[in-house]
Structure 1
Amino acid sequence: MTPPLSRRALLQATALAAAATGLTAAPAGATGATAEPAWKVRPFGLDEVTLGRGVFAGKRALMLQHARGYDVNRLLQVFRANAGLDTGGAVAPGGWEGLDGEANGNLRGHYTGHFLTMLAQARASTGEEVFAEKLRTMIGALSEVREALRREPAVLATDGRFGSAAEQVRGSCQYVDLPSGVLGAGPAVTLSAWVKPTHDADWARVLDFGDGTTRYLYLAVRNATGVPRFAVTTSGAGGEQGIDGTAPLPIGKWSHLAVTIADGTGTLYVNGTAVARNTAMTLTPAALGTLADHWLGRSHYSADPVFAGALEEFNIWSRALSAVEVAELQDRRAAGTSAGPGDLVSYRFGETVGSRFADSSGRGLDATLRRTWGGPSHPGFLAACPETQFILLESMTSSDYTKVWAPYYTAHKILRGLLDAHLATGDARALDLASGMGDWMYSRLSRLPAATLQRMWGIFSSGEYGGIVEAICDLHEHTGKAEHLALARLFDLDRLIDACAADTDVLAGLHANQHIPIFTGLVRLYDATGEQRCLTAAKNFWRMVVPPRMYGIGGTSTGEFWKARDVIAGTIGATNAETCCAYNMLKLSRSLFFHEQDPAYMDYYERALYNQVLGSKQDRADAEKPLVTYFIGLTPGHVRDYTPKQGTTCCEGTGMESATKYQDSVYFAAADGSALYVNLYSPSTLTWAEKGITVTQTTAYPQEQGSTLTIGGSGSVSFALRLRVPGWATAGFHVTVNGRAVDGVPTPGSYVSIARTWRRGDTVRVRMPFRLRVEKALDDPSLEALFYGPVNLVARDSATEYLKLGLYRNAALSGDLLPSLTPVSGAPLHYTLDGIEFAPFFEGTEDPAHAYFRRAEPRVVFGGLDSRVANPARTDGTTLLDAVWAAAPFRSKGALIAQVRDVVDAWVADGLLGRADGEAVVRTAGTASYAD
């Protein structure tokens, strides 16, 4: 009996059937292949919203300067090297984007994808040709890389000692495969080669002839102490008979190596001079017997590096050359010496094309250039590393990022960058590369059992795939290929999705940034398939993070992982709030808002954008680094690190993207054009071509407590202007249109809608007074963060213990705590309290900072008057002053005094406060003066 189709198989079959009839899967109610009909609102393009002067434009200018000046050939180096192409002497950026970084650079290529996206966004935002030109350069190079990977490796010719030589680019994983019989089986041998190493890796082989790791003969450029080594064995490493050199070979220079074995003596020559001798060598080629592999540049030990450098004049003789004969090899090719070319094999390596090397010995034993990993499984493969990263993941059962480090995460960054480049420039090559990547991934993943996929995606780090589902859905919109939509479903991590769809919180212990993008992908899958489970899971997930696992600045995670929900104070440390997490939570919030216009999504967006994301970019330019944080440590006195892990981390990649798309969510339009949402207050100009108008927002927000919007264009147009009322705007939200007040009292955490026919010159003024307030940690009310309107204020102090601050001393009748602080002249949003300076979190400085502090109100103080009465507290930590000010705002001083009386009477009745002390509190409250 045929088993029923699984949900995944059914969806794949449905998508493929749609393709067969020329259709593509679309959201319920949609009329075409695109996702937009499912959206209730739609965003504007980056080219439709222009940033005005302000904090966002200032931060962006720094990143644009970096983007203009950075040599993209450095990014392309790892791709070209992987394909065996000339890298032009470019030096990879380093850190995670190179071969020498963490985990041997197994994540290389990811940063290039980020850079493509940054350039595309910069091009869209500014229109500058320099960004388009860089994109075309990169797309052209990546096209050449893919073409090179599709074919057999080809020789890369370079200047040699006597003519042309063959270069092995580091990272190419290329080696020379010699036929059997090149070693011979006699009692004596001479091996000779000119080498120019370009890297100082230990154990890279000039040659390695053997059967695995038991019987072999090798010549290494460097042993563990950095000097050349020759060894032969028939019993593995423990039985090696070896000869070690006395000095390292120079990097980037030609050196001649030769080894002779005869009559029990082995001699190692360097540049014609015998440098070491072993007189107890009993093993000869004859003792090895017939060997399976004869390699130049590759080791039989898989952990050893492939030789990086150039080879010329490799010869093997069936006798031991004399010292005079070896010396002759220094000045001319072997064919021109008294020894003549090797009688067993002789390669000049003078070829300039193809993958074959001719044997000049007369025996016809031509050699072949090969890759250690063979070649791509599909012609669409494009990466900066061998496909083995993807292959090994399929058999992994546990985490080991040193062996396999998130290959599909890297694929996502590249795919996303290609799609963005195509949108920004119209370059068809970029879409072709992206489509090929989709085809290749489908060819790999569609053949795997569902259980294998579930295991893969559940492995920490190795199985991380970033926002690949979202990117694949976008790819499907371009190509219409059913395989691409089917591919998106192959990344489902069912146990997490099902739990979130059921509103079951299973996030504790999960790697945060590995899983946040899963849900952005699910929203796009809902767009493409109409499957409600996807959207429900994403909505529920968002609420499991905001606010249960959210720090005041909008960030989440500690040490990259989530802890139990509602634990904030208990997780604060030096590795909080990975910057990538904020980037992805913003994307998710934005995506959810397209479907459900819950103001909470945009309240969160403002919080994270105006605090963590802005504050993650240092306020200075740098030619080499984007200067973006990895973690935002929230521990007391933490100093932000803007060049983490040597640069080129995931967070620096997303940081480059964030800094070139600050305007992406300032405005949204209703899908039917009936309304314009103003989500963020930011100096900007919207060009709403559909309506034939512009909307210019003039403000210094958040230094200014409001904004002015002016309608431009010709004619008149009707729509509802919807202005976000921030959840923190408890001091009022006042709107005028052409000087006339808009009726009503807006509710914080909502939108004010003004429907009318708008004309050129219409002016809308918004005023939203800020108040200084605190936000308490969910698990410890005494640990608090300080906010002024949307801005988190941090104390700049080098102390490494939590600062203890009292804020009620001069609180206003409105409940505003600002009167307790002193403004710093000439420095907007800077204040002092008890000699400590407070400044906006978004300022990208390296000052030690305190984002949280301990609330300390030891005595009851009103309007600066000290009652001399200790401030009592209940068992939950709530103090008498907390209870009083919880009722703010007060319409008058009398209302405040009445509240004080009520609280005092209650606390006296509960035995928490003496009657005499209570009366002293009431008298002090009545005597004090208060700001409004």
Structure 2
Amino acid sequence: MAPPLSRRTLLQATALTAAATGLNVSAPGGAAATGLRISTPGGAAATESAATAPLRPFGLGDVTLGPGVFADKRALMLGHARGYDVNRLLQVFRANAGLDTGGAVAPGGWEGLDGEANGNLRGHYTGHFLTMLAQAYASTGEEVFGDRIRTMVGALTQVREALRRDPVVLSGDGPFGRPAVEQVRGSYQYVDLPGGTLGGATAVTLSTWVRPGHDANWARVLDFGDDTTRYLYLAVRNASGVPRFAVTASGPGGEQALNGTAPLPRGRWSHLAVTLGDGTGTLYVDGTAVARDTAMTLTPAALGSLADHWLGRSHFAADPVFAGGLAEVQIWSRVLSAAEIGELQKARAADTSAGPGDLASYRLDETSGSRFADSSGHGAAATLRRTWGGPSHPGFLAAYPETQFVLLESMTGSDYTRVWAPYYTAHKILRGLLDAHLATGNARALDLASGLGDWMYARLSRLPAATLQRMWGIFSSGEYGGIVEAICDLHDRSGTPEHLALARLFDLDRLIDACAADSDVLDGLHANQHIPIFTGLVRLYDATGEQRYLTAAKNFWRMVVPHRMYGIGGTSTGEFWKARDVIAGTVSGATAETCCAYNLLKLSRALFLRDPDPAYMDYYERALYNQVLGSKQDRPDAEKPLVTYFIGLTPGHVRDYTPKQGTTCCEGTGMESATKYQDSVYFAAADGSALYVNLYSPSTLTWAEHGVTVTQRTAFPVEQGSTLTVGGGRASFALRLRVPAWATAGFRVTVNGRAVEGTPVPGTYFTVSRTWRAGDTVRVSMPFRLRTESTPDDPSLQALFHGPVNLVGRSSATTYLEVGLYGNAALSGDLLPSLTPVSGSPLHYTLNGTEFAPFLEGTEDPTHAYVRRSEPRVVFGGLDSGVANPARPDGTTLLDAVWAGAPFRSKGALVARVGKVVDAWVADGRLGRAEGDAVVRTARRASYVG
């Protein structure tokens, strides 16, 4: 790994870059920028195109979606963006800072303490949501999205300020009409009493009021002790859910304990008291003795001097911090009578015959500050603290303590229940803030983002390179998503040299070096942990000029596409990659994690902007029109984005649009995908000389540089073509139209009704150069064919495509559907004539009683994305030759060999091909002469469509 650059070196590099490119660009806020373009608010989705790159993208606001599948899907997500209560997202941040959450309920799933791994990923979803809002605002200009961004950024600013300072008491309504301490669940706050609180007493009474805010077991009301050996505690709930008092000098096995008989009601005040002396212990709940033990020999005096006296915190690290209300903590050096305990139910201790505790007396009715007065006469004030202390740098912003980041630095193995990808979460927050700044110009968002970068640099720059390499190589815990890309964007705007140095601290050298050397090491790796790394490397290449970054990214892309790609464009099984070219062998109910498709699209886009290889856009179209569109369910929901996590490709799989109770990584990226469908429809040459039309999507581009608009009107993919109309003034540029690799049935272009000369080649761009005038119309026609794509490890397992659209069988069968497609194949090689169109349902067909429909439709129908190709007999034009279809050892059949020669100019050309193939197979002994003659006769007799 390259060592961090010094500030002087980075400043010199920045100056040299600016001088070399001749740029004089200022980042928002006046900071000097590097040689990367800085987009103004409302402009491009990110500062993602290097000044030296041949292409640049347009901003989301520059491209308006027209009516069609993209607009329909986006409308559903915009409804979610408008309707979801953002205070629920902010709840986990406010709780972590000890702020009032306003009664908001955390989203659940991965975004709350009750979710998977205790919510160790909480906060990531807020970043996704900010990005969705920013994209929605940039695309539509609707102020509701800007307002929501301002609300969230304002709240996060308050959160960071609260984290910077000592915790401050949050008060609520207590018993007897007095305030009480409110401990927010997730705040990790407790009250620290002074040492010597128990004073070596030989008898003691403990009394307090509690209002549990959660049902977590083992949350302590108080815990006085040294460690997990010598202590006494009072817990709201034991393992059975009832109150428990225990004292021990020899750890859990030696506890002398009192257990209640019923759980304390949640959200209601209850009084707890414990008396201990003369060998007897008694536990009272609401004035009633619920447990008594006459053989309790341990007292505070027996424990001796104890180090810690905590309210709300346990000496056992795995125990939760108490959440809820706490009031009137009183400690006496004697055993109160049952009558005195009864009085405490009706009044504050100071107003009863017992009086305030003589060892400690904390009313806990303060409404500000972090100190609590002691009314016992000792004047021993208590202090509100965090269990984790506080952030190591004022820029820290998260929805959980910094301990997640600290623990990662010493981890040697994966354990996501302890540490679950903290830098992944930091990336989502950083990305959301940067997108919020870009869309709205919100200076606070950039300040928060810059602070995050400063904090990460302070945290990581002090670590040895070996530690960083180990961290980033740990599955899940060390996952950091697209943080490098985001940090490079931050550096472009802040101009802070340390931010670029920070980006390089995430280099995972063994992966980068292997991919730069074109050594495929992906087998066994977690897919989504590694895909976004390479988008970051592309940005690092821009910033540093280090070629290995770009080379590694290009080679990596080719290792995945097509070698680990399913037909719909997705990758991974159970989140992991398997061996190269093993596709059929990895099909499962947990294939094609949706995040992987999202990140592969980002990488494809980034690579294409720097190297306009049409293969990147062919992939982009495949994944966008199939997995990404198909991952969004086609119904509205304000509470859920309704996006898949995995898309199982097993026979009869039903898509799950509410995975893991919501708020997963894939639902987060799904929200983003559905609000930026238009981001790659058009690109421009950096010098303005050309416009690339990458996708055929109903849309209008406003190209301010030339003062023109370009409007696409199309029902693609229902329509097999598109019409582009130029508006505005005159402009000279080359229009580069992508000829999809699947467009083997022709690609025709007319301008104002006249054919354009040239031969479009599938898998390239077709160029039309002229001076364009308002009203000029370009018509693109690209007939679709039904084709199949075989898996490399099992040629008989195939996906059906009509143009760019994957057609899936809708059937509840749990074995692969067997289909034959050659029986009515057209001379062109089109297999569609073997299917029957469904009237009134475009792109819907039937075959052998099974409906086939576009994968992009977000239904809950059981689907078959792969079918088993079965052509048992040689059939031409619906005529059965009576001859079995022979196969070679590799699975290639005689019919495969015949139709590999398509398209055929005429029936005679097809018959000639049949004769040639038959002769070869007879010569190889795979077909008898009489059978071969029968095959040729059938081919001659049959009728074919064109």
What's the TM-score, normalizing by structure 1? 0.98
| Offset at residue 745 of structure 1 (A) | 1.6
| Offset at residue 184 of structure 1 (A) | 1.9
Q: Alpha-carbon deviations, 1:826-881, whole Å to 9, x = none? A: 00000000000000000000000000011100000000000010000011100000
Residues 674 and 20 of structure 1: is their aligned pair in 2 closer, same or farther, counting only changes over 3 Å? closer
AA partner of residue 798 (structure 2):
E
| Offset at residue 734 of structure 1 (A) | 0.2
Whether the 8 Å CA contact 1:19–1:480 is kept in 2: the answer is no
| Offset at residue 186 of structure 1 (A) | 1.9
Aligned to 2:870: 856
| Offset at residue 187 of structure 1 (A) | 1.2
Aligned to 1:783: 797
Whether the 8 Å CA contact 1:603–1:727 is kept in 2: the answer is yes
Aligned to 1:604: 619
| Offset at residue 76 of structure 1 (A) | 0.1
Aligned to 1:866: 880
Q: 2:858 aligns with which of 844, 850, 853?
A: 844
Q: Alpha-carbon deviations, 1:665-722, whole Å to 9, x = none? A: 00000000000000000000000011000000000000000000000012x1100000
Whether the 8 Å CA contact 2:287–2:342 is kept in 1: the answer is yes
| Offset at residue 17 of structure 1 (A) | 2.4
Whether the 8 Å CA contact 2:17–2:35 is kept in 1: the answer is no
Q: Alpha-carbon deviations, 1:457-480, whole Å to 9, x = none? A: 000000000000000000000000
Residues 28 and 500 of structure 1: is their aligned pair in 2 closer, same or farther, counting only changes over 3 Å? farther
Q: Tell me how far apart the structure 2 counterparts of residues 530 and 282 of structure 1 sit (CA, whole Å).
A: 74
Q: Alpha-carbon deviations, 1:538-594, whole Å to 9, x = none? A: 000000000000000000000000000011001001000000000000000000001
Whether the 8 Å CA contact 2:538–2:550 is kept in 1: the answer is yes
Aligned to 2:126: 112
Aligned to 1:209: 224
AA partner of residue 55 (structure 2):
V
Q: Tell me how far apart the structure 2 counterparts of residues 611 and 211 of structure 1 sit (CA, whole Å).
A: 60
Aligned to 1:4: none
AA partner of residue 359 (structure 2):
L
Aligned to 1:90: 104
Q: Does 1:807 align with 2:818?
A: no
Q: 2:600 aligns with which of 585, 598, 608?
A: 585
Q: 1:274 aligns with which of 289, 298, 311?
A: 289
| Correspondence list, 1:551-570, <5 A | 551-570=566-585
Q: Tell me how far apart the structure 2 counterparts of residues 739 and 85 of structure 1 sit (CA, whole Å).
A: 66
Q: What's the secondary structure of 2:679's corresponding residue?
A: coil
Whether the 8 Å CA contact 2:77–2:675 is kept in 1: the answer is yes
Q: Tell me how far apart the structure 2 counterparts of residues 17 and 591 of structure 1 sit (CA, whole Å).
A: 27
| Offset at residue 30 of structure 1 (A) | 7.0
Q: 2:206 aligns with which of 188, 191, 195?
A: 191
Q: Does 1:770 align with 2:784?
A: yes
| Offset at residue 504 of structure 1 (A) | 0.4
Q: Tell me how far apart the structure 1 counterparts of residues 832 and 253 of structure 2 sit (CA, whole Å).
A: 75
Aligned to 1:792: 806
Q: Does 1:130 align with 2:130?
A: no
Q: 2:723 aligns with which of 704, 708, 716?
A: 708
Q: Does 1:480 align with 2:521?
A: no
Whether the 8 Å CA contact 1:27–1:38 is kept in 2: the answer is no
Q: What's the secondary structure of 1:403's corresponding residue?
A: coil
Q: 2:5 aligns with which of 3, 12, 16?
A: 12
Q: Does 1:573 align with 2:574?
A: no
Q: Does 1:618 align with 2:633?
A: yes
Residues 666 and 169 of structure 1: is their aligned pair in 2 closer, same or farther, counting only changes over 3 Å? same
Aligned to 1:23: 15
Q: Alpha-carbon deviations, 1:886-914, whole Å to 9, x = none? A: 00000000000000000000000000000
Q: Tell me how far apart the structure 2 counterparts of residues 613 and 879 of structure 1 sit (CA, whole Å).
A: 34
Q: Alpha-carbon deviations, 1:430-451, whole Å to 9, x = none? A: 0000000000000000000000
AA partner of residue 242 (structure 1):
A
| Offset at residue 26 of structure 1 (A) | 6.8
| Offset at residue 25 of structure 1 (A) | 5.7
| Correspondence list, 1:314-393, <5 A | 314-393=329-408
Whether the 8 Å CA contact 1:577–1:633 is kept in 2: the answer is yes
| Offset at residue 423 of structure 1 (A) | 0.7
Q: Alpha-carbon deviations, 1:616-647, whole Å to 9, x = none? A: 00000112110000001000000000000000
Q: Tell me how far apart the structure 1 counterparts of residues 2 and 19 of structure 2 sit (CA, whole Å).
A: 17
Q: Alpha-carbon deviations, 1:147-189, whole Å to 9, x = none? A: 0000000000111102000111000000000001211212100
Q: Tell me how far apart the structure 2 counterparts of residues 331 and 626 of structure 1 sit (CA, whole Å).
A: 50
RMSD: 1.0
Q: Tell me how far apart the structure 2 counterparts of residues 292 and 404 of structure 1 sit (CA, whole Å).
A: 29
Q: 2:539 aligns with which of 524, 530, 538?
A: 524
| Correspondence list, 1:497-512, <5 A | 497-512=512-527
Aligned to 1:3: none
| Offset at residue 24 of structure 1 (A) | 7.8
Q: Does 1:747 align with 2:740?
A: no
Q: Tell me how far apart the structure 2 counterparts of residues 304 and 12 of structure 1 sit (CA, whole Å).
A: 42
Aligned to 2:44: none
Q: Does 1:75 align with 2:86?
A: no
Q: Tell me how far apart the structure 1 counterparts of residues 89 and 23 of structure 2 sit (CA, whole Å).
A: 41
AA partner of residue 2 (structure 2):
R
Q: Does 1:929 align with 2:943?
A: yes
| Offset at residue 22 of structure 1 (A) | 7.1
Q: What's the secondary structure of 2:451's corresponding residue?
A: helix
Greater shift in the superposed pair: 132-141 or 524-533: 524-533
Q: Tell me how far apart the structure 2 counterparts of residues 640 and 64 of structure 1 sit (CA, whole Å).
A: 22
Q: Tell me how far apart the structure 2 counterparts of residues 635 and 58 of structure 1 sit (CA, whole Å).
A: 28
Q: What's the secondary structure of 1:462's corresponding residue?
A: coil
Aligned to 2:328: 313
Whether the 8 Å CA contact 1:16–1:486 is kept in 2: the answer is no
Aligned to 2:312: 297
Structure 1 residue ranges without an equivalent (≥5): 1-6
Q: What's the secondary structure of 1:420's corresponding residue?
A: helix
Q: Tell me how far apart the structure 2 counterparts of residues 518 and 780 of structure 1 sit (CA, whole Å).
A: 31
| Offset at residue 20 of structure 1 (A) | 6.9
Residues 379 and 445 of structure 1: is their aligned pair in 2 closer, same or farther, counting only changes over 3 Å? same
Aligned to 1:677: 692
Q: Tell me how far apart the structure 2 counterparts of residues 27 and 788 of structure 1 sit (CA, whole Å).
A: 51
Whether the 8 Å CA contact 2:21–2:35 is kept in 1: the answer is no
Whether the 8 Å CA contact 1:24–1:480 is kept in 2: the answer is no
| Offset at residue 37 of structure 1 (A) | 1.1
AA partner of residue 5 (structure 2):
Q
Structure 2 residue ranges without an equivalent (≥5): 25-33, 37-49
Q: Does 1:153 align with 2:167?
A: yes
Q: Alpha-carbon deviations, 1:905-926, whole Å to 9, x = none? A: 0000000000001000000000
Q: Tell me how far apart the structure 2 counterparts of residues 533 and 925 of structure 1 sit (CA, whole Å).
A: 55
Q: What's the secondary structure of 1:800's corresponding residue?
A: coil
Give the percent of matched residue pairs that are identical in Structure 1 and Structure 2: 81
Whether the 8 Å CA contact 1:175–1:295 is kept in 2: the answer is yes
Whether the 8 Å CA contact 2:523–2:579 is kept in 1: the answer is yes
Q: What's the secondary structure of 1:610's corresponding residue?
A: helix
Q: Tell me how far apart the structure 2 counterparts of residues 808 and 929 of structure 1 sit (CA, whole Å).
A: 13
Q: 1:440 aligns with which of 422, 443, 455?
A: 455
Q: Tell me how far apart the structure 2 counterparts of residues 566 and 25 of structure 1 sit (CA, whole Å).
A: 42
Residues 666 and 332 of structure 1: is their aligned pair in 2 closer, same or farther, counting only changes over 3 Å? same
Residues 823 and 21 of structure 1: is their aligned pair in 2 closer, same or farther, counting only changes over 3 Å? closer
- Report how many aligned residue pairs link the two structures: 923
Q: Tell me how far apart the structure 1 counterparts of residues 62 and 21 of structure 2 sit (CA, whole Å).
A: 28
Greater shift in the superposed pair: 671-680 or 15-24: 15-24
| Offset at residue 483 of structure 1 (A) | 0.2
Whether the 8 Å CA contact 1:27–1:527 is kept in 2: the answer is no
Q: What's the secondary structure of 1:810's corresponding residue?
A: coil
Q: Tell me how far apart the structure 2 counterparts of residues 19 and 75 of structure 1 sit (CA, whole Å).
A: 39
Q: Tell me how far apart the structure 1 counterparts of residues 629 and 893 of structure 2 sit (CA, whole Å).
A: 35
| Offset at residue 275 of structure 1 (A) | 1.0
Q: Tell me how far apart the structure 2 counterparts of residues 39 and 579 of structure 1 sit (CA, whole Å).
A: 29
AA partner of residue 8 (structure 1):
A
What's the TM-score, normalizing by structure 2? 0.97
Whether the 8 Å CA contact 1:165–1:311 is kept in 2: the answer is yes
Q: Tell me how far apart the structure 1 counterparts of residues 831 and 943 of structure 2 sit (CA, whole Å).
A: 14
Q: Tell me how far apart the structure 1 counterparts of residues 940 and 778 of structure 2 sit (CA, whole Å).
A: 42
Q: Alpha-carbon deviations, 1:333-372, whole Å to 9, x = none? A: 1000000000001001111111000001110110000000
Q: Tell me how far apart the structure 2 counterparts of residues 586 and 866 of structure 1 sit (CA, whole Å).
A: 45
